[in-house]
Homo-oligomer: A and B are copies of this chain.
């Protein structure tokens, strides 16, 4: 985990449920480590490690005020996830683009897929 030059992948950073919960907390307002820790059943040391990972992914920033270290949400890197997701949106936005995609690439299975989707809707 080390200092602050480790460069953690944002996808990896948000993979852990505890870290996602930390982000949600910091979305409400910035908080010192101890306040964050109080929301979890794990040790402060463990929370600090999660914070370091989030900081290495540039999803949070921390600044010291007196003896406290205050962490704040820095959501910028989440745009990378959004961009990644946007590529897959064509597959669920409507069945027409799904059909178009299938016809273009694997035409012979398009009907099978469409039938499956229809059955799921009926259920």
Contacts and interface: CB of A to CB of B under 8 A. Distances in A.
A87 B27 contact: yes
Interface string A83-106: 011011101100000000000011
A23 B73 CA distance: 29
Contacts of A17: 9, 11
A109 interface: yes
Q: How large is the interface on A (under 10, 10 to 19, 20 to 34, 35 or more residues)?
A: 20 to 34
A76 interface: yes
Contacts of A20: 11, 84
Interface in A1-57: 9, 11-12, 14-15, 17, 20, 23-24, 27-30
Given A20-B84, A23-B88, A82-B85, 14 more contacts: A9-B17, A11-B17, A11-B20, A15-B15, A24-B87, A27-B87, A27-B88, A29-B106, A72-B109, A75-B92, A78-B85, A78-B88, A78-B92, A79-B92
Nearest 3 Cβ contacts at the A-B interface: A15-B15, A29-B105, A75-B91
